[in-house]
Amino acid sequence: MTRVRFQRRMASPTHTARPGDVLDIPAGEAAQRVKAGQCTYVDAPAAPGPAAEDGGQEPKEPMEPGAAGSGLDKLTVDQLKAFAAEQDIDLDGTARKAEILDRIITVLAEREAGDGD
């Protein structure tokens, strides 16, 4: 489970939230909602994306302290590029912030899925 803070009102079959509400939701759902701008991470995830279904262990590699708790969507383009460089993520062909975020989230999710094999 991943802890997120909602930015806007949301309702689903399993839970509802108002702006500012903090909820624990499945890691894959959290990554999708953060990517869509509906919420931000409260605790910095190691990799925003599907996590191991082991009850939610602590992140293996926390993000930089300046980004902790703010979510990737809160970082500037330069900060995202620096984060991608630290994580050895190729950003060729990405120009806009949304494209960079998408690439980072996708690569980190793929790595996380690969670690569970």
72-117 pLDDT tens trace: 888 888 888 888 888 899 999 888 988 988 888 888 888 888 865 5
Q: What are the residue ranges spanned by the domains of the chain?
A: 2-115
**What pLDDT sits at residue 72?**
80
**What pLDDT sits at residue 45?**
55
Residue 23's beta-bridge partner residues?
4
Q: Decide: residue 69, CB within 10 A, 0-12 exposed, 13-18 middle, 19+ buried.
A: middle
Task: Compute the average pLDDT of residues 2-24.
Answer: 83
CA 6 distance to own-chain centroid: 13
Q: Bigger pLDDT: 55 or 66?
A: 55
33 close to 14: Cβ distance less than 8 angstroms: no
**What pLDDT sits at residue 44?**
65
77 close to 100: Cβ distance less than 8 angstroms: yes
Lowest-pLDDT choice from 6-15, 32-41, 52-61, 74-83: 52-61
Task: Compute the average pLDDT of residues 7-33.
Answer: 82
Place of tokens 């703010």: 70
Q: pLDDT at residue 46 above 70?
A: no
**What pLDDT sits at residue 117?**
55
- 108-111 CB contacts, 8 Å cutoff, 24+ apart: 108/46, 108/47, 108/48, 108/49, 109/31, 109/47, 109/48, 109/49, 109/50, 110/49, 111/47
Specify the pTM: 0.41
